[in-house]
Amino acid sequence: MYNSDDEYNNRFTRRALIFGGAGLLGFVGLSARLYKLQVLDSDKYRGLAEENQFNYRLLVPSRGQIVDRQGRVLAANSDNFRLLLMPHQVGDLDVLLSRLSGFFELSSSRQAQIRKDFASRDPFSPIRVAENMDWNTFAKINMWLPDLPGIMPEVGEVRNYPLGEAQAHIIGYVGRVPPGQVVDNQPLLRHPGFRVGRTGVERNFDLELRGKPGALKYEVNALGRVIRELPDVRTRADTGKTIRLSLDRKLQNIAMQALDGTSGAACVLDVKTGELMALVSTPSFDPNKFAKGISSKDYNALLADEYKPLFNKAIGGSYPPASCFKMVVAMAAYDAGLVDPKERIRCTGKIKLGDRVFHCWKRRGHGLIDLNSAIGVSCDTYFYELAKRLGIDRIHESALKFGFGTNFDLDLGGGSSGLVPSQAWKRARFDLPWAQGETLIAGIGQGYLAATPIQLAVMTARIATGKNVKPTLQYQSSQQVIVQNELGFSNTALAIARNGMASVVNKPWGTAYTAKGIDGNNTLWAGKTGTGQVRRISQEERDDKVRKNKDLPWKLRDHALFVGYAPLDEPQFAISVVIEHGGSGSAVAAPRARKILKYALEQRASLTDAENKNGEML
């Protein structure tokens, strides 16, 4: 009850002012908020609104090709039908996975991995669901896409290696990005369809082969299905660079066929440029399985294989160079003034040093023999004597000049330097003095000596040319001039080695005379056989008669080696072949080397004829 009208009016006015002020403050606050949303934060919320209608997709670039010297494909790409999952568009993951299982087999382990990725990843980062799908299943899923929210079909690419096993150890393969390489500022590395080089040339030239990613903006409906692309905001993905190698694809395949069924390696070099024309390691593996995702079962089988198919024996395998090393000893002895090529040394089948007996491979010996014949028939006794005169340190120095002790892994990874022993090396390694008997063994390429097949090919190329030939996988165009330094041996010493190697395959008494005539025209060539022992033959076994390789377990058999170059007068190619536990170099390695070199010469001749004809037409 108010006492007067004035009191009533005053109280009404106060209330009106309070409510009016509150309304004004609310209006001001609302206006400020609207101003912030519509003006200050307009870009932010406009983007959020657009994301309800538009999405951006990373465009993965096509990986560059790898080709041989003639431009023939060694590694390319083929279509890969795959499914990706966009987490931010998924409602119920379990329901989605259940529906997908109705279209194709989705194993429990794959589903578990998808759930793990779904829980841990950025909601806008795609998750791989399936790859390398058949077209019918892929098309069916595209038809039912409205019932599969979050699923994004994509036609990507998968790496393809047409030569398969024949090229695996050189070209290598691609695989998923290792977790340690994924970085936030490189979204391409986080894309589930992206692959990087894991081994071989694929790894060595990975950055050049990758290319540059692009981006695509597209419109989607409420279910996340693509309505249309917006080409005006599309950034093109740039294809990776094409890498051209010195390899000859056909020769590589021929070399692989020649070594089929063996455990070993073969290397073919152009003696003038050092270009690697073929490099094979057997047995091999199919890199296509790795590119598509090899199963644990298949991978474990490769690891357990005693023939080591994953190991590149051509650059990483270390073997006694055996008698293939005798040319090095002969040249070193001549240039040191320690032997006259006409000097004849008597071989009785063995030589005694202290209380030890060192045997020649020929039980009854070779009789009186000179240097050329000693190389041709591979007389061990002759080279025991040369090694004794030289000493291990001079043998060591000469071996280094021929490439022994150098890791020629060609940036493929996994290469070995082999081993060239010396007095200092033994003292450092075992804290023991060098023994003269070890020098004799080194003189025939045995003992501590170890060489890789590519080192043996380099040695052969250097003998053939007298130049310091260095191997390379880089293709050398005809305009490029390769300058090779002199090897550092006299012309006479080089002639001694070459004539000896010519005797091996062209003289009736040579150890590889059965391989005489490298083609139908009886083109002369040069070579050297070798039989690398993997065990010491006891005196008891010698007395009882040495067992033949075929009667021994595989791992106890000798390695079969052969090195050679062709043609004899104008060398073009050098080759080395090593067959693990193959037995005789003349019977097992030489015929394979002959087959490979024969094809190399025919290939070079046909290309030269074609070039000459084109020149005449021009």
Cα 555–chain centre separation: 26
Active site residue: 263, 281, 284, 323, which one?
323
In sequence order, which residues have a C-beta less than 8 Å from that of residue 212 and are 6 or more positions away? 61, 237, 238
Omega before residue 187 within 30° of 0, cis: no
The Cα 461–Cα 455 span in angstroms is 10
> Residue 412, Cβ neighbours under 10 Å: how many?
22
Q: Among candidates 201, 197, 313, 302, which has minimal Cα distance to 259?
A: 313
Pairing of the two strands 66-67 and 243-244: parallel
Cα 566–chain centre separation: 27
Could you tell me what percentage of the chain is helix, strand and coil, using 3-state DSSP and rounding each to the nearest 5?
A: 45, 20, 35
Give catalytic status of residue 263 as yes or no: no
Residue pointed to by tokens 């790409």: 77
Q: Please calculate the CA angle 542-354-548 and round it to the nearest 5 degrees.
A: 15
> Residue 539, Cβ neighbours under 10 Å: how many?
9
CB-CB contact of 87 with 124 (8 Å): yes
Amino acid at position 284, single letter: S
DSSP, res 346: E
DSSP, res 583: -
In sequence order, which residues have a C-beta less than 8 Å from that of residue 120 and are 6 or more positions away? none
Q: Among candidates 325, 322, 307, 266, which has minimal Cα distance to 592?
A: 266
Task: Report the SS3 class of residue 609.
Answer: helix
513: its two tokens: 């005379």
CA-CA-CA-CA torsion sign (87, 88, 89, 92):
positive
CA-CA-CA-CA torsion sign (491, 492, 496, 502):
positive
- What SS3 string covers 88-138? HHCCCHHHHHHHHCCCCCCCHHHHHHHHHHHHHCCCCCCEEEECCCCHHHH
The Cα 279–Cα 200 span in angstroms is 12
Q: At what angle do helices 326-335 and 453-465 cross, to 10 degrees?
A: 40
CB-CB contact of 284 with 165 (8 Å): yes
- 152-168 burial: b if 16+ Cβ within 10 Å, else e: bbbebbbbbbebbbbbb
CB-CB contact of 568 with 502 (8 Å): yes
Return the active site residues: 323
